Amino acid sequence: MNEFLLKEYTPERIIYLYQPEGRGEWGEILYNFADDTVKIIKRAGENSAWHDNHAITQMRKCAKENHITKKFIQAWY
């Protein structure tokens, strides 16, 4: 599970804070509209590659669908 909190939304980019499993230090993830790239700016404290990959996939999906919200939870099983 990843929790997301919108930090910045401009015509150029989207930045979300993300927190795996609702604990630890928040990380930051960026989506760049110009070149359709997603990049983790800062890894979250309680993190794994699994959480990173899900966060990256979710960011790309939000941008493509233009579904940008202030806060949301991404869960998987």
Which residue type occupies 29?
A: I
Positions in the chain short of pLDDT 70: none
**pLDDT of res. 46:** 77
Provide the token pair at 67.
Answer: 């579904």
**pLDDT of res. 45:** 86
Q: Where along the chain do its domains lie?
A: 2-74
**pLDDT of res. 76:** 86
DSSP designation for 21: T
Query: Which residues, in sequence order, are bridge partners of residue 58?
Result: none
| Overall size of the chain counted in residues | 77
3-state secondary structure of 62: helix
12 neighbors 33 (Cβ within 8 angstroms): yes
